[in-house]
Chains A and B, each alone.
Chain A
Amino acid sequence: MMPRISGPAVLILLALAAHRLAAQQITVLVNPSSLTINDDLEVVFQLENLQGAVPAFPDFAGFDKRSGPTRRSSMKMADGQVVNVTSFSFILKPLKSGKLTIQPARVTLNGASYATQPVEVEVAMPGAGGRSAELRDLVFLRAIPARSEVFEGEQFLVSYKVYRRISTQNQFNPLRTAANEGFWEENIPVRNPVWTRERYRGQEYETTVVKQDALFAQRNGQLFIDSLILGCRVSLPAPGRNTNIFNQFVPATEEVYYTFGNARVPIRVNPLPAAGRPADFSGLTGQFAFSARLSASEAQTGSPIQLTVRIEGKGNIQKINPLDLKLPEDWELYDPEIRDSISRSASGISGWRTFTYTLVPLSPGEFRLPELRFSFFDLNARRYVELKSNALQVRVSGAARRRSDTLAGASAPRELLPLEPGVQVARAGYSFAGSAGYAALMAAPLLMLGLLAARRRRLDREAADQAGTRSRKAESAAQRQLAAALALLEQQRVRDFYAEIARTVWQYLSHKFSLGASAHRRELAEELLRGRGASDALVQQLHSLLDACELAAFAPVGPGPEARSAYDRALALITDLEALLEPA
């Protein structure tokens, strides 16, 4: 017998059923379901009527999470019922090819728990298709670490090298960069990749380095250099296409897009030895030098001085932390300013880092700051090295000051640099660059250069004038000298007389031609005279006079008419030469 149910009761039951039917559930949607390693995968977890619940998401093994979860809420009508939909979406990137599984997401609300089904996704390598196997030995990538066993924190280079035996594009698209877990890496730019020949496993290959990294192991144990995945177009001989009579001798080729990656390379990372480890070990390995310097050896109380610490070397410079400074108690210390210069080259990472601390001494006196220490592990010597700074000394003068600028309390900045006491001021609007003094200082050297140039010119002119004057006065000087020679003759000093005549002639000539004393040479004189148009007779006249003078120097002659005629000839010669050289 059917139970009798009243009309309103039916309605209530229906409503309850409907409410229960507006099911609470969680579902997963993936889009697309098959993809290549280059594509993004969208995964959406949809919660229906589970308001306020947040699911526990799977860890997406085999994928790299690009974004998410992104939450969206909406309402929809389904079978006349309001359904509250909350969705959480993720964008994922596959890390490897093959079948990957999205594990279930679980959610619990009011004691009931719900889960999605696991979903399989097919991730393919793009391009190549069926020919990948054939290409494996023709184009491949190797990661070549410089060392396979390193110390914690030690830097070593890894080169990613492409090997090929068929023609490929020279540009390789990095489809996925290596995620080297446990390493800190610095990229070293590779300029102009060059292809070289190399034998590898009995085969000749063309190779080039496409990427180079300096790696620093961050923890010890067995670590791996991860796969870098590259893609490029390659040309393969096309199978069974060589049927056309016209291209029978030209092998037909087929272009395919091929992706390939290197095998993971294990790296053994040894811990640094515990023996001899300094208490304040910085954790750095490599080779470093260290210096510390104060900006001044004398300071005033209340005015800042700088302490610059410089660490230079090869290794993980960007990991260097500020050193611990121990200062006299009543000094103020501000956070250091950090500067770097890092060079990344094929020999690794090297460079320097400086820390500039601002110190404000507040009490006067002679201070010797405790020496600074910096320690690192020297990889060459395989031991810890502790460096100490040189002694830092400073004499502080002035009255003791209190910490006026360092207010207690969190709101007060502890770094505001103090006042500049007793500042100098200048008239507003005055600027040296716009002043008359500047104009004068700039004009003066130009003016002086003008004066110097004028002086140089006057000196040159005077030098020229001197030569001219000597030339003009040559004849009268010669006349005077000949008169003196005649006087010698009258005193019966015949030899001196001839010598004087010769000297007169030479002096006259050297004044005319600005000949030096060393240039008393007849040939030169003759040449110069002929150059000025002297006749043979005149040159002969000169020679015979000089001959007579020279003869008289060796063979004594009497003060007879012969000597007198020498005087007359000399006088005539000078007159003739003057007529030739200084035409009126």
Chain B
Amino acid sequence: MNRLLLAAICALLPLTALAAAPEDLIREADAAYTAGQYELALARYDSVLRGGWTSAGLHYNLGNCHYRLLHTGPAILHYEKALKLAPRHAAARQNLRLALRRVNEAQEPVPDLFIQAWLSRLYLQFSSAGWAWLSVMLLWAALGGGALFLFGPAPRWKRIGFFGGILLLLLALTCAGLARSRLSDERSSRYGIVLASSAFLKETPESPAPLLTLYEGYKVELHAYQGEWRKVLLRDAAHGAVWGFVLASELGEI
């Protein structure tokens, strides 16, 4: 009996420790950052992250710590992670721009087609949660339309309820689809940031000579995992699209 109790306590102990920790750690980290002790702040925020917690704000603060410590690659990585969770985080976007200015003048982004840019901006306007809430609201509004159709006092109201309800239902389903798609984007790593000061992009892992040298802060599309190598696609205005392999240890995944 005693042994069973002990086992239960042992099993629950780490959970309670984690549950209590983050607020305190964040408070400590905020204070350290304000005092200019960026390394301490970084360590505290990092332990919150390691404890299995996350948020756009946490990554944003981590990005600031790294930026202050002149770790520009990791700063870029964390700002990108913040933006992945909250696409409209204006401060993260601003600081990311600043961090990018520090490193990779060489990688010019490929300009998107007008329509594509417009659509992707709309898509990125909300996180998966944002699209999900939007779909919930639209679906409930569609229910209102349905109720109007079923119990409307006059044929005119019934008609409005019917067509309005169908329109809202279609919109709700579209938003639900976008939420799903955003969710799968958020759960997978589609991009990587070069963290090493320079990294070789090789045609195959065995190639002796690199195709290109990538510098800290470069952003690449992740396409496959192959042992300690990652198959990536580099897009920039100077080279167009280049496929290759980069060592996993030199990349951070967004």
Contacts and interface: CB of A to CB of B under 8 A. Distances in A.
A449 interface: yes
A421 B143 contact: no
Contacts of A111: none
Interface of A: 304, 334, 337, 358, 401, 404, 413, 415-429, 431-434, 438, 441-442, 445-446, 448-449, 452-453, 455-456
Given A404-B35, A416-B95, 11 more contacts: A337-B94, A401-B34, A417-B94, A419-B64, A421-B30, A423-B60, A429-B187, A432-B128, A433-B183, A445-B142, A452-B147
Contacts of B146: 449, 452-453
Interface string B148-171: 001100000000000000000000
A431 B186 contact: yes
Given A423-B61, A428-B54, A433-B180, A416 B22 contact: no
B76 to A, nearest CB: 13
A424 B55 contact: yes
A425 B143 contact: no
Interface residues of B, number: 48
A66 to B, nearest CB: 24
B150 A419 contact: no
Contacts of A438: 132, 136
Contacts of A448: 143
A490 B48 CA distance: 99
B63 to A, nearest CB: 10
B22 A415 contact: no
The prevalent SS among residues of B at the interface is: helix
A417 B147 CA distance: 49
A428 B35 CA distance: 28
Contact of A419 (B34, B52, B53): B34
A427 B49 CA distance: 10
Given A425-B22, A453-B150, A404 B143 contact: no
Given A419-B61, A433-B131, A427 B52 contact: yes
A434 B91 contact: no
B53 A428 contact: yes
B194 interface: no
B176 interface: yes
A398 to B, nearest CB: 13
A427 B67 contact: no
A458 to B, nearest CB: 12
A416 B98 contact: yes
Nearest to B54: A428
Contacts of B22: 425
A431 B30 contact: no
Interface string B100-114: 001000000000000
B98 A425 contact: no
B96 to A, nearest CB: 10
B49 to A, nearest CB: 8
Given A420-B61, A420-B91, A433 B143 contact: no
- Taking each of A420, A421, A422, A452, which has the highest tally of chain B beta carbons within 10 Å of its own beta carbon? A420
Contact of B53 (A337, A358, A418, A426): A426
B30 A426 contact: no
